[in-house]
């Protein structure tokens, strides 16, 4: 499962990815302290953005693949 951020007038930036239920890999510049991910099942994931600021203005996308 993958979470992406697309700031206005910019391309997609990967925030975090996971291949297991408990291991999340955050990209440089992103952290669990700011972008908390909870994956409750193989069909459901929730990302919470903490302490929002104007810098967080973006469209956010979730992508998943079924192996």
Q: What is the 3-state secondary structure (H, E, C) of the chain?
A: CEEEEECCCCCCEEEEEECCCCCEEECCCCCCCCEEEEEEECCEEEEEECCCCHHHCCEEEEECCCC
This prediction's pTM:
0.85
pLDDT number for residue 11: 94
Q: What digits encode the pLDDT tens for the residues 6-65?
A: 999 999 999 999 876 668 899 999 999 999 998 877 777 889 999 999 999 999 999 987
Range of the domain at 43: 2-63
Q: How many domains does the chain have?
A: 1
Average of per-residue pLDDT across 2-7: 96
């Amino acid at each position: 499962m993958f979470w992406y951020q697309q700031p206005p007038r910019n391309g997609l930036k990967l925030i975090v990815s996971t291949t297991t239920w408990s291991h999340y890999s955050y990209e440089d510049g992103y952290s669990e302290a700011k972008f908390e991910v909870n994956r409750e099942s193989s069909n459901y994931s929730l990302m919470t953005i903490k302490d929002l600021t104007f810098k967080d203005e973006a469209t956010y996308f979730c992508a998943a693949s079924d192996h």
